[in-house]
Structure 1
Amino acid sequence: MHAHRSFVGSVVLLLALGSGDAFATVRYVNNDGICGGNLPCYTTLAAAIAASSAGDEIRVQPGLYNTAAMITVDRPLLILGPQAGVNALPSQGSTRVPGDATSEGILDGGGVLGTIVRITASDVEINGLEIRNGTGDLVDSPASLALARVTIRNNIIHGSSGDEGVQLRNVADALIECNRVYGTAGDGINLCCGATNGIIRFNELHDIASLDAAVYVYNSTNTTIEGNLVYRTANNEAIKLGAKNGSDAAGTGGVILNNRVYDLKQDGVAVYQSNTEVRCNEIYNSTSENGGIYLAYAISNVSVEDNYVHDNTFNTAKWGDPAGIMIGTAVNAPSITVTGNRLVNNSPNGATNRAVGLLTARNNWWGAADGPGPVGPGSGDLVSTNIDFTPWLTSAPAPSCPSVGSCGTTPTPSLQKSWGQIKLLYR
């Protein structure tokens, strides 16, 4: 459902952009005011935006752009840095070098500017820039404006001393993909405040110091969080879906699919919102006080399937028996499905249910052919009482998850079929 929507929406957007090319002006930005002879030429991105009309394309050339005032994107624009369409992810072999002004278009807040880029219009795409050194949200949109189709793609975003890397508020159909985000005091990527049908996919986030999560989504509906790589979180989760105070518990969360997260202070995936699928995620080397996958508050209708949660040593101070899959006290446990997961070498438990109702956790691999212990008969990961774990898998299931989309050097869309759905990837 989510993937089909993103395909249709992306095709419509591409067609719309294509139909306007004949009328759009291409504008150039370079500190030297020459832009290699390309006209019209501007020395700042803000000046190019001020001169533009809706649907124009702005091409920012390599250089260091010291940004003393917030740049406001207040009309539909395609803003392309010199690395537009170029993979930014080290894990996928990117050769991009942050801080290299000969190859990157660097918007630098100098460590004193709060927000560097603020988006106040729909149909904006920012692609291939480096955005760094601010004290607030480096890229954001205000909650007071209902926007749609904002895309943040192929950027290197880092160095917020006080808040988020990207925070999009009240945006329908936001797409945040293929970005490298690191070194933020707040969340790396945040989607909130009335957002609907957002997609956060194929990003690499690391060295995030947020007290919430590297990827934090709250007060939002029907979000897809797919194929992200998250590592080295200093204080809290890798991925959190739902408000940390539980106020989103009755809402529709969406899908958390195929993310790989490791070296974590707290949970790999925290779900605080109902009607959510958690599938095909890998979580390891977490020291969480809760667990690898943690369900909390009065949530219901959550499926936890085909995840690989392994080699985690959890902090027992809070619960005593945190687990690879941890069900909190207020969860509607009978409405939760846990199946097809690989739970291996998690200490103290592979699964713990602290809710009142029975948790159904059948057909999981517990790391041993004889099943889980100590409630069960086996030598695999431990389970608590109040869990129906029979039958269990006697060997590890073969991988059945879709491949993670790559962020290739050209933004050519290609079709990939997975899980019976069609999605658009940029390769």
Structure 2
Amino acid sequence: MYNETVIINKSIQLLGAQAGVDARTRSGIASTESIVTGPSIALIQAVADRVVIDGFTVQNNTTGPGIFTSAAFSGYWVMNNIIQNNVFGILNNSSGARYTEVRQNFLRSNNQPGAGSGNGILSDMTTSNIWVDSNLFTGHQLASVNFSPAGTATTDIIISNNRMVTDNSITLANTNNVKIFENNMTDTQGSSIFFGGSTNQTDIERNILHNSISNGINVTTFFTGVPNANIRAKYNSIQGNSNAGLQIVAGSYNVTPPNDRLDATNNWWGSPTGPAPIGSGDRVIDPGNVAEITPFLTSDPFITQQISQVLSTGPILGPPGTQTVRIEILNDDPISTAVIEIIGFYLPPNSAKLPYVHELFTINPNIKVLKSFFVNSLDQYEYQFGILNTSNVLISVWAIDVNGNVLASQRVVASEQSTISTITPNVP
């Protein structure tokens, strides 16, 4: 554990003990991690071009973010880091001269009091040329990803393939040319995608925006007072949102030529009859009549197969010490290929279950596969298995200690697993 500030002022690769290991699926056990902790203005500070920060746990900064990248430089790669319990996660600025990537990080509950509190990734200065891809977010009180600089607009941002589970909004203000695609946002504690004004040329495509406590997409001028323009939202699955699937606050969208009307066609709104008030799906609130919403999709584009069976191990309590959980899956069907979805959860005391493993794969007929995952034995854990195309699948789960011994008390054979109605939370 490093109780210090790390300042990187030259082009280097800063590699932690878990460099190259996806932060979304590893256990986070302290003995296996390079941990940088606070307090500090920022625990890891990158103030040079072409800096790589890979494979750390960055946590418990009570005065600032976990990781800071300077707007005076560019070419940052921030990947495979667990970033948790800081004031906010990453202060992600860049000059834009070189491409910056933020990928395969696990950002959790960065909500310590202070300026910027509650953001997973925050950019508060003019920046450009950034790709935020394949990260896992949970527990943030303000935003998962927040690009809302003052001054000149932030440009050329891609936000893709991220998973936000019981987290908060993707927030945009004062941006130009932003692509938001193939993100999975469930149980968002605000609007899933929030426009705060002065945005132009935003594409929102093939995202899952389910069950927010507010809106799937919310268009406002909250931050800047200036309307947004040229938003296109297509081929998204938008359903179960408490207030509306799409809300466009009066005066928040500029359709004056050469700007286009807001294109919200070809989305799924949770009903084959379309969005309310046309049908019975999520509402579209458009008092200024600035959006196109027809045609709409009559089926969810992300549901292509029916789950034959969902099994759960139930809660498993591990003994002290690092464990490897091994999962043996046999497709005993002589004809059909099995589609298997695995989701593993930690079960913290008096708290919602926390997904830490998610895999989707196929198994050919009469084939057995073996999967291995690390687990933090200080918490209970659970595995759920979605089985598609065939019910002739046998799954066994057992734990192995550091000496390679099978822990009999943690073994769950196929006959001991319970059938449940759905994999939780809703992670397609």
TM tier relative to shorter chain: 0.5 to 0.7
Given candidates 215, 218, 223, the residue that maps to 2:121 is 215
* 1:97 paired to 2:29: yes
Determine the structure 2 residue equivalent to 1:54.
Answer: none
Q: Deviations over 1:334-377 (max 9, x none)?
A: x2111101110111110012224332210000000000112x2x
1:326-405 residue pairs with structure 2 within 5 A? 326-329=218-221, 330-333=226-229, 335-354=230-249, 355-357=253-255, 358-374=261-277, 376=278, 378-385=279-286, 386=289, 387-398=291-302
Given candidates 57, 62, 76, the residue that maps to 1:161 is 62
**Contact 1:227/1:404 (CA < 8 Å) preserved in 2?**
no
Distance 2:51 2:301 in 1: 39
**Contact 2:18/2:80 (CA < 8 Å) preserved in 1?**
no
Distance 1:174 1:79 in 2: 11
Judging changes above 3 Å, is the alpha-carbon distance between structure 1 residues 273 and 227 closer, same or farther for their aligned structure 2 residues?
same
* 1:324 paired to 2:225: no
Q: Runs of 5+ in structure 2 lacking a partner? A: 256-260, 305-357, 361-371, 374-428
Q: Deviations over 1:14-64 (max 9, x none)?
A: xxxxxxxxxxxxxxxxxxxxxxxxxxxxxxxxxxxxxxxxxxxxxxxxxx5
One-letter code of the match for 1:349?
Answer: A
Determine the structure 2 residue equivalent to 1:318.
Answer: none
* 1:134 paired to 2:36: no
Q: 1:138 Cα shift? A: 0.2
Q: Root-mean-square deviation (CA), in Å? A: 2.7
Q: Deviations over 1:304-340 (max 9, x none)?
A: 11111011112xxxxxxxx21112243343x211110
One-letter code of the match for 2:29?
Answer: V
Q: Determine helix, strand or coil for the equivalent of 1:252.
A: strand
Percent of aligned pairs sharing the same letter: 23
One-letter code of the match for 2:274?
Answer: G
Q: 1:287 Cα shift? A: 2.8
Distance 2:272 2:177 in 1: 32
**Contact 1:150/1:171 (CA < 8 Å) preserved in 2?**
no
Judging changes above 3 Å, is the alpha-carbon distance between structure 1 residues 229 and 195 closer, same or farther for their aligned structure 2 residues?
same
Determine the structure 1 residue equivalent to 2:86.
Answer: 184
Q: 1:292 Cα shift? A: 1.0
Q: Determine helix, strand or coil for the equivalent of 1:137.
A: coil
Q: 1:231 Cα shift? A: 0.4
Judging changes above 3 Å, is the alpha-carbon distance between structure 1 residues 149 and 215 closer, same or farther for their aligned structure 2 residues?
same
Name whichever structure is richer in helix by fraction: 1
**Contact 2:130/2:157 (CA < 8 Å) preserved in 1?**
yes
Q: Deviations over 1:205-235 (max 9, x none)?
A: 001114362111242112111111110013x
1:40-79 residue pairs with structure 2 within 5 A? 64=1, 67=4, 70-79=5-14
Name whichever structure is richer in strand by fraction: 2
Distance 1:80 1:135 in 2: 20
Q: 1:242 Cα shift? A: 3.2
Query: Across the two proteins, how many residue pairs are aligned to each other?
Result: 287
One-letter code of the match for 1:171?
Answer: F
> Under a length normalisation based on structure 1, what TM-score does the superposition of the two structures give?
0.62
* 1:260 paired to 2:166: no
**Contact 2:110/2:118 (CA < 8 Å) preserved in 1?**
no
Distance 1:343 1:66 in 2: 44
Q: Deviations over 1:104-141 (max 9, x none)?
A: 4xxxxxxxxxxxxxxxxxxxxxxxx3211323200013
Distance 1:72 1:398 in 2: 43
**Contact 1:270/1:295 (CA < 8 Å) preserved in 2?**
yes
Determine the structure 1 residue equivalent to 2:213.
Answer: 313
Judging changes above 3 Å, is the alpha-carbon distance between structure 1 residues 163 and 399 closer, same or farther for their aligned structure 2 residues?
farther
